[in-house]
Chain A
């Protein structure tokens, strides 16, 4: 089993959130490499480029300019090359409609952006670990569905 670092791609237009994300990743146990893009078209450009390394995990904000999260999701899922790609929607919204829409259009994970840094760390660790399990333990990626919604700092999930 590879203990190489995980290649993570984040698409988010909010600078602060990107900083939080990067900092959180750095503080968790798993080893990760992070690339950040700031809008949907940049994301698609990156992914379409066959020279680029396919990420292990993509975090996708829903409300991006140019091409929003759902559109990217649909585009990505059309490409057979990216079939293995685990996609996490990372969004401020928590509405059931958005969650359902995300999953139906092919997202594996839906994360509501937490308002506490330590919670973010826990979430990221959980997501990465789970993704690892799916990759290494013969679990069906199609069934990889995880909804992390409405987590408060005092309700940190015990995983």
Chain B
């Protein structure tokens, strides 16, 4: 995310024009301060998830609060307001997404993923995965494989 500050006043139409033209390049404009905060939190969480080491859950909230220079309670409230979900949920969601990525792109086994993502056991990984997606990691893997082998009519472009 890049922050841009307009030097002067920008009219509503101009702003819309800018928005539309940027959209062509897949760039979105966020101009609401709360949304900005939420976006930043999301990015921090993404960073944490992609780290090799999984930090303690307790440390995450502290870490975010420190990075954002705001209290965690406050951050958490804003996050829920805007996204209708909690920071913790978002964190879990991101981890599960990473698991999905590791399974589909890097073709790791569940054991390998559990180890890489610092899950306490494969069972724990399966459990969280199933809770979040309603599918077991193996079922997920099988579905993705069969989707890809039966033709790419069901493929989707990567979202922004």
Contact = CB atoms under 8 A, between A and B. Distances in A.
Contact of A141 (B90, B101, B157): B157
A149 B154 CA distance: 22
B104 interface: yes
Contacts of A137: 42, 46, 90, 94
What secondary structure prevails in chain B residues at the interface with A? helix
A84 B28 contact: no
A146 B135 CA distance: 7
Interface residues on A, range: 35 or more
Nearest to B136: A147
B85 A104 contact: no
A146 B133 contact: yes
B39 interface: yes
Interface string B140-160: 101110110010011111111
A57 B15 CA distance: 27
Contacts of B146: 100, 104
Contacts, number: 101
B1 to A, nearest CB: 10
A134 B159 contact: yes
B120 interface: no
Nearest to B104: A143
Contacts of A146: 133-134
A146 B147 CA distance: 15
B84 A139 contact: no
Contact of B89 (A29, A105, A140, A159): A159
A1 B154 contact: no
B27 interface: no
Nearest to A111: B134
Interface of B: 28, 30, 32, 35, 38-39, 42, 46, 82-85, 89-90, 93-94, 97, 100-101, 104, 131, 133-135, 139-140, 142-144, 146-147, 150, 153-160
11 contacts: A1-B32, A1-B39, A100-B142, A104-B146, A104-B147, A106-B156, A129-B83, A138-B160, A140-B101, A145-B100, A146-B133
Interface of A: 1, 3, 29-30, 74, 77-78, 83-84, 100, 103-106, 110, 125, 128-130, 132-143, 145-149, 157, 159
